[in-house]
Amino acid sequence: MAVAEQILKLEKAINEAVAQSSPEIGSVIEALQALRGVAQMTATTIVCELGSLSRFESPRQLMGYRGLVSREHSSGNRIQGARSPRPATPI
């Protein structure tokens, strides 16, 4: 089986899973697709990676979960930086 055929087969399976998903998940995927450059595959990947977006109280909390927010503690002239506790998974 050629790579292109495998990709088409996987995309078809993902599309079927999205069609059978709950209305809540479907509406989040649809809303994400309203963003420029976000097609169904990207929106589906985001939802699969993050789960329910309502569990995050703020965008900063979401970014922290993804490992995109660095931490810094400063006092006077002293600055301590800490890297994110885990590397971000590419979306």
Model confidence pLDDT, tens digit, residues 1-29 = 799 999 999 999 999 999 999 998 999 99
31 lies in a domain?
yes
86 lies in a domain?
no
- Residues 29-46 have a mean pLDDT of 93
Helix spans in 21-79 (H): 23-32, 40-50, 59-66
pLDDT at 52: 84
Residue 9 domain boundaries: 3-69
61 lies in a domain?
yes
Neighbours of 33 (CB within 10 A): 16
The model's pTM is 0.65
44 lies in a domain?
yes
User: What's the domain count of the chain?
Assistant: 1
pLDDT at 31: 93
Split at pLDDT 50, 70, 90, the class of 32 is very high
